[in-house]
Amino acid sequence: MKDLKAKIAELKKKFNSVSARVKDEKSLQEVRNTYLSRKRGELNLLFEEMNALKPEKKSQAGQMINSLKSYIQERLEKLKKEIAVKERPVRKIDLTLPGEKGYCGAPHPVVLFQQEIEEIFLSMGFSIEEGPEVETDYYNFEALNFPPHHPARDDWDTLYITDDLLLRTHTSPVQIRAMEKRKPPIRIIVPGRVYRRETSDPTHLPMFYQVEGLVVDEGITFANLKGTLERFIKTLFYEKIKIRFRPSFFPFTEPSAEVDIECIVCGGEDEKCRICGGSGWKEILGSGMVDPQVLKNVNIDPEKYSGFAFGLGVDRTAMFAYQIPDMRYFYENDLRFIRQFALK
Amino acid sequence: MRISLDWLKDYVKIDRDLSALISKLDMIGLLVEDWEERDSDVILEIETYANRPDTLGHLGIAREIAAVLGLNLKEQNWPLIEIEQETSDLIDVQIWDENLCARYCGIIVKNLKVGPSPDWLKKRIEAMGLNPINNVVDVTNYVLFSTAQPIHAFDLDKIAGNKIIVRKAGESKTLRSLEDKNIALSPEMLVIADEEKPVALAGVIGGEESAVFEKTQNIFIESAYFDPVSVRKTSKLTGIFTDASYRFERGADISFPPQGALMAASLLTQMGGEATKEIVDVFPKPRKNKTVILRHKRIFELIGLEIDEKFTYRTLSRLGFQVEIQQEGTWQVLVPHFRIDVEREADLIEEITRFYGYDKIPATFPPLRELEPSLDKNRKRVNKLRQLLFSLGFDEVLNFSFSDPEEEASFKTKRKPIEIRNPVSSKASILRTTLITGLLENILWNRNRGAEGIHIFEVGNIYFWEKESSREQARIALATTGLIGSTQWQKKSKETDFFHMKGTLESLMSDLRYEPFSFQEKDHAFFEKGHSLALLFKEEIVGYFGLLKKNLLDSYSLDDAVWAAELNLSMLFGKKPQSFQHVPVDRFPSITRDVSFIVNRSITYQEIKEVIERLSIPHLKTFDLYDRFSGASIPEDKVSLSLRFVYRNPQKTLLAEEVDSLQQKIINVLKKEFNFQLREGGTEVPSKVRSKKK
């Protein structure tokens, strides 16, 4: 009996080490045959041995062998599952075949760029305002301090509809409309289409997009204008970009400033740079402190309130940012051009 | 404005090198756009502004340079060789219209030999990019480019009656120009006339008959101040734009005409002429200098930086302003006549800031005070709609707002187009009344460049007259033609069609929660009969879509079918979409039943749908058409339809038996209504998606 007990223990030990080496169906079958075969299986041999025992010992031995048997069966069943998982038949595939391409439409670059601009100002607490494209002479010019017959109007070549109606030459008239409508503080940007009487060429178009901005409140200063526009430009381009404010003239601002940024293409290194003409600077924004007369025109007291305004051409700036050589590309709507901006 | 560095040095000592000078000029707002070396000189191209006519001459630029460098302008000396005759004895100058001519000066140079200019003068004229003509013409140009004061020279012997009359043209109809053409005069134009007729268009151009020619001996020099608006109007009406009119229309220096006449006469006497004594100066209403009050604290309030009072005082003085300190912090500033742009305190503050340097002003962020809330839902909606269309494979385009009236007419939009009075071209002379024309041009452009499938949209305005006022209406238009997607090894591309467009619009409406919407069969001028639908929301037509008419496509030389849609976003966004609410997800399984049947082609899907809907079958959650088939196995006038029904009870698990009886009810009604036959395999037996119980 003692002998049998030791044998059972040894057999279990042996089974454990053999079964640990089972890798596939074939070796599993071998192990199964070795231990569970009805004829010469190790367990059967044990049962035969058991039969030789005295009846009082028999039942105890039987229990021990049965327990080993079910241990082996369970273990083999588990192994079978493991092997089945491992050996599940998988068809071999050519992994080098191209992946399935999805297709997504692309945004128009001007809309895309305009939204980038808008988002920066929205994050600075500006809101978006819109106005009509067919404007009156009053809003487009007079209220903005362009007297009739003033040569300053020559810089804004105008498409007229009637004596009094025109296609707005800038989004600035919306400044006036906004100031008529609400009281300061005002902090708005105005995106939209504007028109000039120009023949299309690589750098001019009869229609393009502009974003105008206006801030009016108590104590607004030129320093605030600089702070706001520098923040904007750095966010739109990059943090270390060089920015220059330069005196200029707009009838509706005083003092006025034009804002130049360093040429992102040549950095001023290329004397024949197509983008900056070798100056190293690229004009990007017009701006200034809202002219006191403009504030008076909308019944805002210039002694109490001050403000700044600015404007930039979306197309022109997008052209610079994406290094597009010809502005007309934007309105040819060649899908090979537009689809590139799906990547932006 | 072209500026010669040598010429500038006549007025101011410049001891900086060129790049330092250029950066100083840029800093004070005289942007040097370009420069070139020319012989020993340097020619600068300087940007000038409409409000600064004083910078349209070398003197004005020199004045700015002197101020920024802290230098004084050189003294000018214009000696005359005089004869013993008073100018006023030889010529009678009269101003008949003081409003249009505030000042008129003149002097006579006699016994001059007209001929080539001396070399120094030729060089100056060439530096301005002009060809030297003769000493008289060159001297007048020299004074203009030096001082921005236009000068005109008349042949004194051709001035009838020795009279110079500044008057409106009135009855005089024409002036003979140097090119031997007749300039048509209108009565309001200001002219210079002699006793008989106009001899020059005031401030714009001289006439041929009084012009200096090679045999001229005696010259009358005009140096005047003309009203800017009058000169501008005359220029525009006659189409004649000259260096003189460019300066007068911006506003000349009213104090300068005597000096201008003196300069010209002095130069001509150096070339052999003799000047008469005393300049004639008709100046009926002498003008005082403007005065502006400057409160020093306002500089800080507007700029955000303390600027030293000494700096302010010095800058203004150097620029020619006279400063009288009235009381502490409040100054009275006398503005020189040449600074027509300075009228208010803000203008002075700009001068001070400009010379202080914009770069020295700090950059600070404005206080973020609370604003009136502004919610722009439409922008959000447009954006959502764009994102959806990108995901559906539509590319975005933008077209000009202009349109060709002929093209537009063929579309018969019934909207009255807005015409541009001075269009760039006749093909762009109205504003678009539909977005579809633009999309068709885009399709043509891309077709011609090999695109196989074109699926595009544009969001933008259309424009039209509504009664007397102009209207702008936001729209979206879509067009689809050709293949959708590219053929890949495990996915074939397919041709776009009506239902691609319909599905796109359905997604668009559901995504913006404009539900329930509906379609209605309706003819439309753009689309083939029987191939268009109107899209309705809250009983109003939001837009149309369909197959574009052959003749419209023909006019763009497009052969392939194009489906297009145009929706009125102004109207749609004016309506309230369905409010968003969470809907509980199904907790109990649903049961699906498929059924296929053959029915007459003439029966529309809508009819079948309505019949099923009318039954109000309990627990029927959805039903959809998942297959439609016609072919050899089916008679020609029939079509096979397969519908999938989904049942669900939110309270408990449905039993298959319950569903079977509901489904049978539907089948029975459909059989009765449409006389349909169940298809073999399309079955009354529950389909492959079974309830677990079965």
- Give the tens place of pLDDT for each residue, A229-282: 999 999 999 999 999 999 999 999 999 999 999 988 888 788 888 878 778 899
- Residue span of the structural domain in which A30 resides: 2-87
Distance CA A102, CA B240 (A): 61
What pLDDT, on a 0 to 100 scale, did the predictor assign at position B290? 94
Judge whether B11 and B74 are in contact, CB under 8 Å: yes
How many domains does one find in chain A?
2
pLDDT tens, residue by residue, B75-114: 989 999 989 999 999 999 999 999 999 999 999 999 999 9
Which residues in A lie closer than 8 A to residue B368 (C-beta atoms)? Answer: 125
Q: Which residues lie across from B678 on neighbouring strands?
A: B597
Residue B353 predicted with pLDDT over 70: yes
Residue B369 predicted with pLDDT over 90: no
Nearest to B350 among A134, A220, A255 (CB): A255
Hey, what are B112's tokens? 């001059």
CB contact B31 to A (< 8 Å): yes
Looking at the complex, report in whole angstroms how far the Cα of residue A279 sits from the nearest Cα belonging to chain B: 8
> Can you tell me whether residue B494 is helix, strand or coil?
strand
3-state secondary structure string across chain A: CHHHHHHHHHHHHHHHHHHHCCCCHHHHHHHHHHHHCCCCCHHHHHHHHHHCCCHHHHHHHHHHHHHHHHHHHHHHHHHHHHHHHHHCCCCCCCCCCCCCCCCCCCCCHHHHHHHHHHHHHHHCCCEECCCCCEEEHHHHCHHHCCCCCCHHHHHCCCCECCCCEEECCCCCHHHHHHHHHCCCCEEEEEEEEEECCCCCECCECCEEEEEEEEEEECCCCHHHHHHHHHHHHHHHCCCCCCEEEEEEEECCEEEEEEEEEECCCCCCCCCCCCCCCCCCEEEEEEEEEECHHHHHHCCCCCCCCEEEEEEEEHHHHHHHHHCCCCCCHHHHCCHHHHHHHHHC
Distance CA B457, CA A111 (A): 13
| Residue A100 resides in a domain | no
Interface test mutation site (partner B, options A254, A281, A283, max chain B beta carbons within 10 A): A254
Distance CA A341, CA B390 (A): 12
Inter-chain CB proximity A247 and B304 less than 8 Å = no
| Residue A41 resides in a domain | yes
Asked whether the bond before A185 is cis by omega within 30 degrees of 0, the reply is yes
Interface test mutation site (partner A, options B22, B46, B396, B573, max chain A beta carbons within 10 A): B396
Give me the CATH topology for the region B2-69. Answer: Phenylalanyl-tRNA Synthetase; Chain B, domain 1 (3.30.56)
Asked whether the bond before A255 is cis by omega within 30 degrees of 0, the reply is yes
What pLDDT, on a 0 to 100 scale, did the predictor assign at position B632? 79
Q: Would you give the distance in Å from CA B174 to the centre of its chain?
A: 37
Rg for chain B, CA atoms, rounded = 41
Q: Which of residues 240-269 of B touch A (CB under 8 A)?
A: 249-250
Write the ipTM: 0.88
Inter-chain CB proximity A223 and B362 less than 8 Å = yes
Asked whether the bond before B516 is cis by omega within 30 degrees of 0, the reply is yes
Contacts of A326 (CB under 8 A, 6+ apart): A202
Give me the CATH topology for the region B378-573. Answer: BirA Bifunctional Protein; domain 2 (3.30.930)
Judge whether A336 and B449 are in contact, CB under 8 Å: yes
Residue B684 predicted with pLDDT over 70: no
Q: Which of residues 479-508 of B touch A (CB under 8 A)?
A: 485-486, 488-491
Q: Which of residues 393-422 of B touch A (CB under 8 A)?
A: 393-402, 418-422
B/e letters for A181-210, b = 16+ CB within 10 Å, e = fewer, are eeebbbbbbbbbbbbbbeebeeeebbbbbb
- Mark whether A171 and A45 lie in a shared domain: no
CB contact B358 to A (< 8 Å): yes
Higher pLDDT, B577 or A155: B577
Which residues in B lie closer than 8 A to residue A246 (C-beta atoms)? Answer: 26-27, 29, 31, 358
Inter-chain CB proximity A105 and B394 less than 8 Å = yes
Burial of residue B24 (number of CB atoms within 10 Å: 0-12, 13-18, 19+)? middle
Rg for chain A, CA atoms, rounded = 42
Hey, what are B690's tokens? 């079974």
Task: Indicate the range of A108-112, A190-194, B222-226, B687-691 predicted with least confidence.
Answer: B687-691
Task: Indicate the range of A65-79, A231-245, B192-206, B227-241 predicted with least confidence.
Answer: A65-79
- Mark whether A15 and A157 lie in a shared domain: no
| Residue A104 resides in a domain | no
Hey, what are A92's tokens? 């071999």
Instruction: State the number of CA atoms in the 13 A half-sphere of A234 facing the CB.
Output: 12
If pLDDT is split at 50, 70 and 90, which confidence band does B687 have? very low
- Mark whether A198 and A331 lie in a shared domain: yes
Q: Please state the domain extents for chain B.
A: 2-69, 82-282, 290-360, 378-573, 591-678
How far is the CA of B661 from the CAs of A43, B11, B374, B655, in angstroms? 60, 107, 56, 10
User: DSSP letters along B363-385, please?
Assistant: --PPP---------HHHHHHHHH
Residue B321 predicted with pLDDT over 60: yes
Q: Would you give the distance in Å from CA B588 to the centre of its chain?
A: 61
| Residue A94 resides in a domain | no
Judge whether B97 and B103 are in contact, CB under 8 Å: no
Contacts of B160 (CB under 8 A, 6+ apart): B194, B195, B196, B197
pLDDT > 70 fraction of chain B, expressed in percent and rounded: 97
Give the mean model confidence (pLDDT) for residues A56-75.
Answer: 85
B290-360 CATH, one of 2.40.160.40, 3.40.50.1100, 3.30.56.10, 3.40.640.10: 3.30.56.10
The distance between the two most distant Cα atoms of chain A, rounded to a whole number of Å, is 132
In whole numbers, what is the pLDDT of chain A averaged over residues? 90
Q: Which residues lie across from B230 on neighbouring strands?
A: none
Nearest to A231 among B232, B365, B390 (CB): B365
What pLDDT, on a 0 to 100 scale, did the predictor assign at position B690? 41
Inter-chain CB proximity B366 and A289 less than 8 Å = no
What pLDDT, on a 0 to 100 scale, did the predictor assign at position B375? 67
Distance CA A313, CA A210 (A): 4
- Mark whether A311 and A186 lie in a shared domain: yes
- Mark whether A119 and A240 lie in a shared domain: yes
Q: Which of residues 5-64 of A touch B (CB under 8 A)?
A: none
Distance CA A262, CA A283 (A): 9
Distance CA B567, CA B543 (A): 4
Residue B692 predicted with pLDDT over 70: no
Residue B681 predicted with pLDDT over 60: no
What pLDDT, on a 0 to 100 scale, did the predictor assign at position A67? 87
Count chain A–chain B contacts defined by CB atoms under 8 A: 231
Residue B689 predicted with pLDDT over 70: no
| Residue A155 resides in a domain | yes
Distance CA A188, CA A126 (A): 5
Q: Would you give the distance in Å from CA B104 to the centre of its chain?
A: 40
In whole numbers, what is the pLDDT of chain B averaged over residues? 92
- Mark whether A46 and A120 lie in a shared domain: no
pLDDT tens, residue by residue, B161-207: 999 999 999 988 899 988 778 999 999 999 999 999 999 999 999 99
- Judged by phi (left if over 0) then psi (alpha if -120 to 50, else beta), residue B555 lies in alpha
- Mark whether A329 and A181 lie in a shared domain: yes
| Residue A237 resides in a domain | yes
Distance CA A178, CA A129 (A): 8
Give the mean model confidence (pLDDT) for residues A156-179.
Answer: 94
What pLDDT, on a 0 to 100 scale, did the predictor assign at position B485? 84
For chain A, the straight-line distance linking the first and the last C-alpha, in angstroms and rounded, comes to 83
- Mark whether A83 and A146 lie in a shared domain: no
Burial of residue A298 (number of CB atoms within 10 Å: 0-12, 13-18, 19+)? middle
Owner of token pair 């460098």: B69
- Residue B86 CB neighbours (<10 A): 13
Nearest alpha-carbon partner for B644 in B671, B622, B673, B612: B622
Residue A145 predicted with pLDDT over 70: yes
CB contact A257 to B (< 8 Å): yes
Hey, what are B115's tokens? 């001929």
Inter-chain CB proximity B395 and A100 less than 8 Å = no
How far is the CA of B247 from the CAs of B77, B250, B335, B380, B494, in angstroms? 24, 5, 20, 50, 67
CB contact A78 to B (< 8 Å): no
Which residues in B lie closer than 8 A to residue A154 (C-beta atoms)? Answer: 50
- Mark whether A218 and A138 lie in a shared domain: yes
Nearest alpha-carbon partner for B337 in B205, B149, B166: B149
pLDDT tens, residue by residue, B551-596: 999 999 999 999 999 999 999 999 999 998 898 888 899 999 999 9
Give the mean model confidence (pLDDT) for residues B264-287.
Answer: 94
Distance CA B533, CA B681 (A): 35
| Residue A99 resides in a domain | no
Distance CA B693, CA B644 (A): 20
What pLDDT, on a 0 to 100 scale, did the predictor assign at position B683? 44
- Mark whether A211 and A324 lie in a shared domain: yes
User: DSSP letters along B128-181, please?
Assistant: TT-----HHHHHHHHHHHHHS--EEEEEGGGSGGGEEEEEE-TT--EEE-TTS-
Looking at the complex, report in whole angstroms how far the Cα of residue B443 sits from the nearest Cα belonging to chain A: 9
Nearest alpha-carbon partner for B515 in B457, B586, B572: B572
B591-678 CATH, one of 1.10.20.140, 3.30.70.380, 3.40.50.720, 1.10.357.10: 3.30.70.380
Q: Which of residues 442-461 of B touch A (CB under 8 A)?
A: 442, 445-446, 449, 451, 454-456, 461
| Residue A95 resides in a domain | no
- Mark whether A40 and A161 lie in a shared domain: no
If pLDDT is split at 50, 70 and 90, which confidence band does B680 have? low
Q: What φ, ψ does residue B532 adopt, rounded to 5°? A: -140, 150
Give me the CATH topology for the region B82-282. Answer: Phenylalanyl-tRNA Synthetase; Chain B, domain 3 (3.50.40)
Nearest to B358 among A103, A165, A246 (CB): A246
Interface test mutation site (partner A, options B392, B398, B570, max chain A beta carbons within 10 A): B398
pLDDT tens, residue by residue, B21-70: 999 999 999 999 989 998 889 999 999 998 999 999 999 999 999 999 99
Q: Which amino acid does the sequence have at A146? A: F
Topology match between the domains B2-69 and B290-360 = yes
- Residue B651 CB neighbours (<10 A): 9
Distance CA B275, CA B272 (A): 10
- Mark whether A136 and A70 lie in a shared domain: no
CB contact A226 to B (< 8 Å): yes
Out of A87, A117, A140, a domain closes at: A87
CATH number at residue A298: 3.30.930.10
